Structure 1
Amino acid sequence: MKKTALVFSLLASSQLCFADNTLYQPKDENTPSIESITMSYGTPMRKELALNGATSGLPKTAYSGATMKLNMIGGVAPYSVEVTEGNVDIKDDVLTIREKGKIKLLISDSVGSSFTYSFNPSFFSTPDNVIRTFSQSEKYCSKLGGSLPKIEDIALFPTARMFGYLFSEWGSFSLNQSGWYTSDQDISYKLFRNQDEWSSMGYDGHISAHLDNGLVYQTYDDAFARTTCILK
């Protein structure tokens, strides 16, 4: 079992909060807990997920190289984090997710109070440099042991509580330093394939999502686009 540990001080964060209006109330101010998670930490696209008292489960999506920082409340700083399950790197109090699977963290404060935090996100494959038609994308994901995502898995949805969507949790893939997008790529390279169908004017096609802004587009099945897969 791989174990990695770090020690970090309390982070005062002012990033955009993707949550509802419920105030976060720790169970006990003497007990450490996670107030929020700063996603895509260290990039121009960093965002904050407020846990609102949740004790597990966030984030709900991930990809190799995704960075996050835990913002603690309660207990006595500094805090330490030990990775007891999952492939996660820790450097300078930033966690970097490396591969799919459940992640379990043991978090302690300086006087020994501790708790376990775990999440098992939907994991998205890093797009390669090949552009594919829809049928080619389906076959590619199948070979990886996964499937094409649905549009609600990846696109940016303007809802109050943005949990469970790739773009809503991690931000623009032109700014979060994921390596999935470069500015000189043409439009076909900036689109994700997915499995949702449309039938405008009788033509066969599916919806795709833009790597830069998460907006959705109607795309013919024989058009070329990049591919990300949800790995099972």
Structure 2
Amino acid sequence: MTQFCGDGGVGKTQLCMQYCVHVQRPPPHGLSGRALYIDTEKNFRPERLHAMAESCLRLHPELQQTLTVEDMKSRVHIFHCNTNANDLVELIVSRVEPFIDQNPEIKLIVVDSIAQLFRYDYKGKAIERDYQLCEIGQKLRQIASLKKVAIVITNQISYNTKENKDVPSLGRLWQTYVYTNFMIKRSPVNSDRIGYTLRKMASEKHFQDILMSSILRIHSI
């Protein structure tokens, strides 16, 4: 599983929607597949997906032989789950795998975001929260392995006063289920740019910065 962390409005949803478009491209640039998008924050915008699909077909005209904008939009399946954490657990644990069995072309699952419901539903209930996060983490790992599906998660960030830095929300237990973390922050140079820092988990307690990639303009996504 790959996780993108950052403040609200930094571009996590935009990036995930872009993945939903590009997973439909043939190899080596995509997987000729469909995407399943689980929206917990009501951030998914169909009109933005439409614009991204148009841009993709314009930049890669060879795709127009087999795909239209409407085709690309229909190949992104949306599950809205913005009620409570229990519903998210039930959706991921009980409904996602059967849905993939019915739609084997799905090659990407996006959960945007994992933190939204848990941060507010389980204040002061860390044990219960961690148990349900384990259910989700174990199930997503199982699906990724058995179904050969890529998993992308978005997460919020919290400030760790002991380490004096921003860290992914939901604590260290959740991080044990994540293979790769990206911390996304706006570049101080220009407000329309995002800098991507790739962080690889070195242990359960610490992250190690290993790469700073080039800056990407939001409007080009």
TM-score, normalisation: structure 2:
0.32
Q: Greater Rg, structure 1 or structure 2?
A: 1
Larger relative contact order (CA 8 Å, sep ≥ 6): 2
Query: Is the helix fraction higher in 1 or 2?
Result: 2
